């Protein structure tokens, strides 16, 4: 997709932007949804860089690293990669990203949670641009009020409401918060704590195992399955993020309602936001690198973030100086509560949780453990032991 304009007197510079889409979601509608988002960034950038042509390319996630490496051999690698913080970390492990210069210039606009998601080896790896808070999406024809606690969620299922949960860590860890296990999970990065009793982790794992027994609570391996099943009226209540909620809204219309995730009796849900940011490609000329930095600066400063916020309510700004409007919609209030009251209540634990899931190998291992647990293939004690030993194996 080409956008932008060029003067008749000056040759246009070209800025190449790449972004991944999961293989099972690589459809025209998914591409259009992401292009719509990126077009907001492009519009702001082109105001001050009218002689730049912006080229965006969608890649399938599983082949993106290989394809970019091949493109880079031909000097055709991207100047910017727009993706989630976790994807950008994986790209960095494959040497596809350059860190940002002058860290403090960029990091001062972020709060501590966002910084922890962005910094590797004391260097800014990515510049977060937008937050898609994790919330619940439900059919308001069958669910009159979303549950406020995890105990109410179980009662809702017992009443006949069909509930869907995904087992991948970023989608299911909210339940670890609601059952009070996040502090113990975060302690696992310290080897000294790995042999200590883990009553809260066991309580969390026990809750997941019991939930798997219930007739109306179903576990899925892919978040995309939840979205499709809710839209097809095969589920009534699921977890989602605000990016996914926008796509569901197009299918369900006014039947879709959005609320914060259920908390525990004493602890908040560990709502895991989807954070999209900009990573600098390694294959840029000095001119293209300057354009890439200008693109990022335009879209992460206070003015740029505020302008994007006014055009859509699908996400929150990463720049901590941008305020959420007081007269927000119920949906925006749910997003705001998810991020500021739930996610940010774990300021101390976030760095260790990110470290615990630092590599794709660890992430996939936890995903597998939770899938086996909710399928009945391993016991509660076996799952607790496997989660506890994960860091030992990873070292």
> pTM value?
0.90
Specify the residue for token string 């926008």. Answer: 246
Name the fold adopted by 2-131+275-323. D-Maltodextrin-Binding Protein; domain 2 (3.40.190)
The mean pLDDT values, 10 residues at a time, for the chain of 395 residues are 39 88 88 93 96 95 91 88 91 90 86 88 92 97 96 97 96 98 93 84 98 96 94 97 92 96 97 96 93 97 91 89 77 93 95 85 93 97 93 55
CATH class of the domain at 134-272+331-394: alpha beta
Residue 282 pLDDT = 92
3-state secondary structure of 167: coil
Q: Extract the tokens encoding 205.
A: 């794992």
DSSP H stretches of helix in the chain: 28-48, 61-73, 85-93, 103-107, 112-118, 150-158, 169-178, 182-187, 199-213, 223-231, 242-252, 286-300, 302-311, 330-337, 350-356, 360-374, 380-394
Contact 210, 151 (CB under 8 A): no
What is the C-alpha separation between 298 and 127, in angstroms, rounded?
A: 12
Contact 107, 115 (CB under 8 A): yes
Residue 11 pLDDT = 52
Number of Cβ atoms within 10 Å of the Cβ of 121:
7
Residue 385 pLDDT = 94
Cβ burial, residue 14 (10 Å; 0-12/13-18/19+): middle
Residue 299 pLDDT = 97
Identify the bridge partners of residue 237 per DSSP, sorted by sequence position. Answer: 138, 163
Instruction: Write the CA distances from 274 to 20, 48, 243, 305, 314, integer angstroms.
Output: 14, 29, 8, 17, 12
What is the C-alpha separation between 305 and 322, in angstroms, rounded?
A: 7
Residue 327 pLDDT = 60
Residue 228 pLDDT = 94
What is the C-alpha separation between 88 and 279, in angstroms, rounded?
A: 7
Instruction: Write down the domain spans for the chain.
Output: 2-131+275-323, 134-272+331-394
Residue 110 CA to its chain's centroid (Å): 16
- What is the chain's mean pLDDT, rounded? 91
Do domains 2-131+275-323 and 134-272+331-394 share one topology? The answer is: yes
3-state secondary structure of 342: helix
Instruction: Write the CA distances from 355 to 98, 113, 216, 275, 313, integer angstroms.
Output: 21, 13, 34, 16, 31
């Amino acid at each position: 997709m080409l956008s932008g304009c060029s003067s008749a007197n000056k040759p246009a510079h070209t800025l190449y932007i790449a972004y991944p889409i999961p293989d099972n979601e690589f459809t025209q509608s998914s591409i259009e949804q992401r292009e719509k988002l990126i077009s907001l960034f492009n519009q702001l950038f082109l105001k001050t860089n009218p002689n730049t042509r912006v080229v965006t390319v969608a890649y399938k996630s599983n082949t993106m690293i290989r394809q970019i490496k091949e493109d880079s051999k031909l000097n055709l690698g991207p100047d910017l990669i727009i993706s989630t913080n976790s994807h950008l970390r994986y790209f960095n492990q494959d040497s596809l990203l350059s860190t940002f210069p002058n860290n403090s210039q960029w990091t001062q606009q972020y709060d501590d949670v966002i910084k922890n998601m962005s910094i590797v080896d004391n260097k800014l790896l990515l510049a977060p641009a937008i937050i898609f808070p994790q919330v619940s999406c439900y059919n308001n024809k069958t669910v009159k009020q979303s549950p406020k606690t995890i105990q109410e969620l179980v009662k809702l299922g017992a009443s006949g409401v069909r509930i869907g949960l995904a087992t991948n860590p970023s989608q299911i860890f909210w339940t670890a918060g609601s059952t009070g296990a996040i502090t113990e999970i975060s302690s696992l990065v310290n080897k000294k704590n790995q042999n200590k009793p883990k009553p809260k982790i066991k309580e969390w794992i026990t809750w997941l195992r019991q939930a798997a027994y219930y007739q109306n609570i179903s576990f899925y391996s892919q978040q995309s399955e939840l979205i499709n099943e809710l839209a097809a009226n095969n589920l009534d209540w699921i977890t989602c993020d605000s990016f996914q909620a926008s796509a569901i809204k197009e299918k369900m219309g006014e039947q879709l309602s959005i609320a914060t995730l259920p908390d525990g009796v004493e602890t908040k849900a560990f709502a895991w936001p989807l954070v999209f940011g900009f990573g600098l490609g390694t294959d840029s000329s000095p001119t293209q690198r300057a354009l890439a930095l200008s693109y990022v600066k335009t879209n992460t400063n206070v003015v740029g973030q505020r302008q994007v916020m006014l055009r859509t309510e699908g996400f929150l700004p990463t720049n901590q100086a941008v305020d959420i409007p007081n007269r927000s919609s119920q949906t925006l209030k749910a997003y705001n509560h998810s991020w500021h009251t739930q996610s940010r209540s774990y300021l101390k634990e976030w760095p260790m949780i990110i470290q615990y899931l630092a590599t794709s190998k660890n992430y996939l291992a936890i995903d597998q453990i939770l899938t086996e647990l909710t399928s009945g293939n391993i016991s509660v004690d076996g799952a607790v032991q496997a989660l506890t030993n994960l860091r030992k194996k990873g070292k």
